[in-house]
Amino acid sequence: MAISFLLGILIITILGLFLGFGLAFAAKIFHVKIDENVEKIIELLPGVNCGGCGYQGCAVYAEAIVKKEEEINLCAPGGQKVIDEIGSILGKKSVGKVRYVAKIQCLGDDAIALKDYKFNGDEDCYAVSSFFGGEKACKYGCIGKGNCIRVCPVNAIKRDKLNRVWIDSDECIGCERCLTVCPTKVIKMFPIDGGYFVACSSPEMGKKVKEVCKKGCIGCKICEKITGDPDRIIVVDNLAKINYNSKVDLRSAALKCPADTIVPIKNQKLYMKNNKEYKIEN
Amino acid sequence: MSFKKSFGYRGAHPDDYKYITNKNSISFTDVPDRVYIPVIQHIGAPAKIVVSVGQVVEEGQLIAEADGFVSANIHSSIPGTVAAIEERYISVGKKSKTIVIELNGEFRKSGKNIHLTDWKSMTKDQLLKKIKDYGIVGMGGATFPTHVKLTIPNGKNVDTLIINGAECEPYITGDHRLMIDRSEDLLEGINIINKILDVRNIYIGIESNKKDAIKRLKTLCLNRYNIKVVPLRVKYPQGDEKQIIKAITNRVVQVDQLPSDVGVIVQNVATVIAIKEAIVNDKPLIDRIVTVSGSGVKEPKNLKVKIGTLLKEVIEECGGLKEDVKKVVIGGPMMGFAQYDLEVPVTKGCSAVVALSEDDYTDFIPNGICLNCGKCINACAFGLAPTVINKYIKYNLFDKAAESGLMYCKECGACAWSCPARIPLVQNFRLGKDIYRKLTEKKKKNKG
């Protein structure tokens, strides 16, 4: 009884020792050198895997920085802070590119934009837009079925109670995913320091725009006159266009806009809240 | 009761609602003041416009010519002047260039005795060219150019011609009335096609809910023609090309085959009559039979409508819409498109206008959840699994959806009709097809 007991312990011990040495050798022989810097950079990067830098994810980008000497200023969500930290590890210095955020150039919702019909079916922007160009009478605007909301990795895209979709600049990381799923191409990128953007995409004549939507650019040129600088804001094809190379203040023009379509880029949240007609759900 | 043929155990059984209009003979409409003729009225390349604004056109004059082999000519349906060429929405929900013609001048052909052409002395190529020149397309709804269908590729042997009088879609009775009111024309048209194809067997397949049509054609064909009238079981989609071939000849057309691969050509009843009119009466395809039916119309009728007439004028002809109309559908309730606006022109493929009042209308359930009951699989006559394909589309796996047969879906609507969760399957398939086509185009571009 006792012998068989001891024998068992002996066999297990010998086997354990043998396998243990085997593992130790394997670890030595098959050792993969992991660059410390890669691990550090992976920890520094925000980890949202948005793909904005052009790589599949944060880990791949970190490897590319160390091994392929990729530029360190490609991470849009991280901003200047992450660039500085990565720079301190690698001894490099770089300035972040201008941060761009996505904006939906349409303010039409259930209350102010006229609708041609009600779509009976699954909520998908492509499906609706392929059927008579969308529910709204204005065929240039936001379809409002939320394809972009579903692909946003950081939930920066919000929806009102009245089905108006808008993007919060504080949360937007500029990965441009929403641009690819929008069938009407109503989402565009704007520099965060650009001041204001025109929240309408309709190139129709003013009268036609007014018939179908209360918040549409009618091409009245008031903004052009108040600013007095055609390099900054100019009306082309019945639609105001802002040039972001110039830094002239547009505040007075935005306040005077009869349709309220010149919207601040940074504080769209405030703009949406101040407007008493809208209460934000989220 | 005799044994009636059908295509197998699959399919759906919607109520046919044919009783509303199947006793009304074809009546004529007033000539519209303006017609709106889109250049996209057929499968294939859009026709090329050959008129300019301000030009005077005659009735039946060529206004847009076929752009390529798979395309069809388009003719003016009224005499007049071209008022504008503009972009308009057509009944399928897409934009198309549209030629607007204002009525002006006199009708030189309609209602006048004209010289009848002796087609028996014409050769096969002459007949085909005339069909092509006069812009004949399949009038069952698919609008595939007829000259393409009748041109049989080398090496294929066609021995059977099937005339499709099944008309399985609910409400529509246009073909039914044509078979009764114009049966002589139909038989002459069949003889013309027979001269082109030179086939051994000719069948007319008719669903057995059109008993008077079957009786009339049977008595007519009894001694004079080598044509067999085949009564078919009432089942949806009996009128589809592949299903009617299976039902009548028991030959199976595989998913990637054409009917001519198994030696069969199928032509719709209305197309045959259009061919007869084109060849014997020298009349291009400028009008068609439209069934205006449904519980929302005051006087349901079978109308002969000029192509390009606005929907609202067609409905006015039938006494207008009732007040509780919920939905107006062009092209039958199973495969048609709902319209929000009645300013849509009638095109070559517009077989019916159905207005549904509140009694017949069922609302859509948002976010219906699939029960995995398999009713759609039982309904699909093409052997697809709609529930699986729908799930692939829902999760954006378009390649996998195509592997499961998405592109072989004919959008007949039998699956969506039988779905207890009321999932908009056909809508999703249309969307999936659109996106898949775009994706493959992109891939081709990237490669080339």
Give dist(CA B349, CA B336) in Å, integer: 10
Give dist(CA B228, CA B231) in Å, integer: 10
The answer to whether the CB of B197 falls within 8 A of the CB of B44 is: no
Q: Is the pLDDT of residue A14 over 50?
A: yes
User: Which residue of B340, B428, B434 is in closest CB contact with A122?
Assistant: B428
Q: Quick check: B431 and A130 CB within 8 A?
A: yes
The reply to whether A118 and A78 lie within a common domain is no
Give how far the C-alpha of residue B275 lies from the chain's centroid of Cα atoms, to the nearest Å.
15
Phi/psi region, residue A280 (left: phi>0; alpha: psi -120 to 50; beta: rest), is beta
Give dist(CA B37, CA B39) in Å, integer: 7
Q: Is the pLDDT of residue A108 over 60?
A: yes
Span A190-236, pLDDT tens digits: 998 888 899 999 988 888 898 898 888 988 888 888 888 888 888 88
The answer to whether the CB of B10 falls within 8 A of the CB of B163 is: no
Looking at beta carbons, which residues of chain A come within 8 Å of B363?
A: 120
Q: Packing angle between helix B269-281 and helix B183-197, nearest 10 degrees?
A: 80
Is the dihedral angle over the CA atoms A15, A20, A21, A27 positive or is it negative? positive
Please tell me if residue B320 touches chain A, with a CB cutoff of 8 Å: no
Q: Which residue from B72, B74, B75 is spatially nearest to B57, judged by alpha carbons?
A: B75
Using 50, 70 and 90 to split pLDDT, how confident is the model at A70? confident
pLDDT at A279: 37
pLDDT at B1: 42
Does residue A27 sit within a domain?
no
Last residue of a domain, one of A90, A112, A129: A90
User: Which residue of B338, B341, B427 is in closest CB contact with A127?
Assistant: B427
Share of chain A above pLDDT 90, in %: 16
Looking at beta carbons, which residues of chain B come within 8 Å of A137?
A: none
Does residue A120 sit within a domain?
yes
Q: Is the pLDDT of residue A62 over 50?
A: yes
Question: Residue A4: how many CA atoms within 13 Å on its side-chain side?
Answer: 1
Give dist(CA A100, CA B403) in Å, integer: 39
Does residue A72 sit within a domain?
yes
Is the dihedral angle over the CA atoms A189, A191, A197, A198 positive or is it negative? negative
Does residue A210 sit within a domain?
yes
Using 50, 70 and 90 to split pLDDT, how confident is the model at A271? confident
The answer to whether the CB of A157 falls within 8 A of the CB of A167 is: yes
pLDDT at A274: 63
Does residue A19 sit within a domain?
no
The answer to whether the CB of B143 falls within 8 A of the CB of B47 is: no
Give dist(CA B260, CA B235) in Å, integer: 24
Range list for CATH 3.40.50.11540 in chain B:
112-281
Q: Quick check: B430 and A117 CB within 8 A?
A: no
Distance from CA of B435 to the nearest CA of A (A): 8
Q: In Å, what is the CA distance from A113 to each residue of A183, A209, A211, A278, B316?
A: 19, 10, 9, 14, 30
pLDDT at A275: 57
Backbone φ and ψ of B429, nearest 5°: -65, -40
Q: Which two three-digit tokens encode residue B68?
A: 């390529």
Q: Quick check: B427 and A121 CB within 8 A?
A: yes
pLDDT at B368: 80
Give the CATH fold of the B112-281 domain: Rossmann fold (3.40.50)
With a CB cutoff of 8 Å and minimum separation 6, the contacts of A29 are none
Q: Which two three-digit tokens encode residue B196?
A: 């082109």
The reply to whether A74 and A203 lie within a common domain is no
Distance from CA of B139 to the nearest CA of A (A): 23
State in Å, rounded, how far the first CA of chain B is from the last one.
61
Does residue A7 sit within a domain?
no
pLDDT at B286: 92
Q: Is the pLDDT of residue A280 over 60?
A: no
The reply to whether A139 and A271 lie within a common domain is yes
Phi/psi region, residue A219 (left: phi>0; alpha: psi -120 to 50; beta: rest), is left
β-pairing verdict for B287-293 and B264-268:
unpaired
Q: Quick check: B89 and A133 CB within 8 A?
A: yes
The reply to whether A195 and A55 lie within a common domain is no
> What's the number of domains chain A is made of?
2
Q: Which residue from A190, A121, A106 is spatially nearest to B367, judged by alpha carbons?
A: A121
Give dist(CA B55, CA B80) in Å, integer: 9
Mean pLDDT of successive 10-residue segments in chain B (448 residues)?
Answer: 74 90 90 93 91 92 91 93 92 90 86 80 92 91 89 89 92 93 92 91 92 92 85 90 91 88 93 93 91 92 93 91 90 88 90 90 79 92 92 90 91 91 90 91 86
The answer to whether the CB of B46 falls within 8 A of the CB of B39 is: yes
B237 preceded by cis ω (within 30°)? yes
- Residue A276 lies in domain: 100-281
Give dist(CA B355, CA B137) in Å, integer: 26
Q: Which residue from A265, A74, A275, A101 is spatially nearest to A187, judged by alpha carbons?
A: A101
pTM exceeds 0.90 for this model:
no
Q: In Å, what is the CA distance from A163 to each residue of A106, A155, A256, B367?
A: 12, 16, 26, 17
Query: Rounded to 10 degrees, what is the CA torsion of B168, B169, B174, B178?
Result: -10
The reply to whether A47 and A144 lie within a common domain is no
Q: Quick check: A117 and B340 CB within 8 A?
A: yes
User: Which residue of B89, B363, B434 is in closest CB contact with A132?
Assistant: B89
Q: Quick check: A130 and B430 CB within 8 A?
A: yes
Does residue A126 sit within a domain?
yes
Q: Quick check: A127 and B341 CB within 8 A?
A: no
Give the CATH number of the domain where residue A81 resides. Answer: 1.10.15.40
